[in-house]
Chain A
Amino acid sequence: MASVSLTVNGEAVSAEVEDRTLLVQLLRDHLRLTGTHVGCDTSQCGACVVHMDGRSVKSCTVLAAQASGADVTTIEGIADGDTLHPMQQAFMDNHGLQCGFCTPGMVMSAIDLLKRHPGADEATIRRELEGNLCRCTGYHNIVKAIRQVATAG
């Protein structure tokens, strides 16, 4: 068993888990943060994207033990109380989600994307969404939402 201690959404948490436990399992099964989803088993769909030490990662391809000591932010941790994060608000404003399943990972990737490419144009946004699959929206309104945040400065 591995003892893991990390910060999740600003709170210190620790748990005893099997060494093979993935970060996403720690989040969903142990911490009951079920906003982070699992949509594939080959690290491609991106439904599980969270931020670890300020970078977007696929939490289905990180061991919980690997994340020990890290600062992790999930979809549950980005709003400011009842005020949505600007990226969450932009997804709502632009109908950037339908079934909502890919949405948490999509939003977390989008936030990271604009951190690395402030003011990103449509082509950059589309390229940077390489690691996130959506089956509902055709990406049209996701791209529009991210552009809204990018152009808001």
Chain B
Amino acid sequence: MYNFNYHRAGSLAEAESALAAAEDGALMAGGQTLLPTLKQRLASPSDVIDIGAIPELANIESAGGAVTVGAGTRHADVAGSAAVASAIPALAALAELIGDPQVRNMGTIGGSIANADPAADYPAAIVGLGATVNTNRRAIAGDDFFQGLFETALDEGEIITSMAFPVPEAAGYAKFPQPASRFAMVGVMVSRGAGGVRVAVTGAGPSVFRVGDMEAALAGNFSAGALDGISVSADGLNADIHGSAEYRAHLVGVMAKRAVQAAGG
């Protein structure tokens, strides 16, 4: 790790000013992605601003047909939240599948989506549940948030504050973990709600994506059988020693069905 200046922000305002003052500042919430990156000397921020202990960022509210999760909420707290479990059990189930118990005890939802790792689980929830990402400046539709490999719609100095998930009528998540890292090789979130049916895939491509054919089929018949015969093209999907693009494309179909089944369809 290169050296840096550590700041612990007590409030969002403190975080904003520390970030503005830094020559090349990096925000850290749980640190479960940033610290391994720094340990490998793959990044060299001048300042690390710890927003993991800001009280206003770590709360979960369920009201008005939506569950709002603070950006600093740890995966374990999403997984264990009674409010999440009763409103969107698929979101709690997804959080329970991230990393391992120790990573879930530190890592945060805001940190995960800000990093936009193509194999992270949460992007599937943001897009698959049609969430809105709230920042210190604006609200960003989940569909517009992820813009590519490790790229998001966030501007310089913009800090995620919360995610608002509309409560679906039904939702399910199924994950095929990359066997070594246990990140998602393919993770599929399926939901049916006021905004229609959503099928969002993480892990398989450079960024989370929706599968229109599956959404259309499920809109007419929300059952695993409705997905029979629908395949996803392997073009542009990720390939590595753990799975070819063709295999990942196949797994999208299998996991989508399992997600529908998990959603009760």
Assess A/B contact in the complex (Cβ within 8 A).
yes
Q: Are A20 and B52 in contact (CB under 8 A)?
A: no
**Chain A residues whose C-beta falls within 8 Å of the C-beta of B36 in the assembled complex:** 41-43, 61
**Per-residue B-contact encoding for A25-62, CB less than 8 Å = 1, 0 else:** 00000000000000001111010010000011110111
Chain A: number of interface residues, binned into ranges: 20 to 34
Inter-chain contacts of A113 with B (CB < 8 A): 101
Q: Which residues of A contact B103 (CB under 8 A)?
A: 43, 58, 61, 131
Is B100 a contact partner of A46 (Cβ separation < 8 A)? yes
| Separation of A24 and B30 alpha carbons in the complex (Å) | 16
Interface string of B171-195 (1 = CB under 8 A from A): 0000000000110000000000000
List of B residues within 8 angstroms of A55 by Cβ: 76, 105
Contact-size category for B: 20 to 34
The verdict on B106 contacting chain A, using a C-beta distance below 8 Å, is: yes
The 8 A CB mask of B33-44 against A (1 = contact, 0 = none) is 001101110000
- Of the listed stretches B4-12, B17-25, B212-220, chain A binds B4-12
A20-B1, A63-B31 are contacts. A57–B105 as well, Cβ < 8 Å? yes
- Chain A residues contacting B48 (CB-CB under 8 Å) are 19, 63
Q: A41-B39, A42-B36, A57-B106 are in contact. Are A128 and B101 (CB under 8 A)?
A: yes
Residues of B within 8 A of A68 (CB): 8
Q: Is B2 an interface residue (CB 8 A)?
A: yes
Task: Tell yes or no: B142 within 8 A of A by CB.
Answer: no
Q: Roughly how many angstroms separate A45 CA and B170 CA in the complex, as a whole number?
A: 36
Q: Mark B66-77, 1 if CB is under 8 A from A, else 0.
A: 000000000010
Min C-beta distance of B154 to chain A, whole Å:
23
B38: nearest residue on chain A (CB-CB)? A20
| CB < 8 Å neighbour of A19 from B4, B52, B76, B182 | B4
Asked if A74 CB lies within 8 Å of chain B CBs, one says no
Q: Which one of A18, A56, A61 contacts B35 once the chains associate, using CB atoms below 8 Å? A: A61
Q: A2-B6, A43-B36, A130-B182 are in contact. Are A58 and B102 (CB under 8 A)?
A: yes
Chain A residues near B (Cβ < 8 Å): 2, 18-20, 22, 41-44, 46, 49, 55-58, 60-63, 65-66, 68, 109, 112-113, 116, 128, 130-132
B residues apposed to A, CB below 8 Å: 1-6, 8, 31-32, 35-36, 38-40, 48, 50, 52, 76, 99-103, 105-106, 181-182
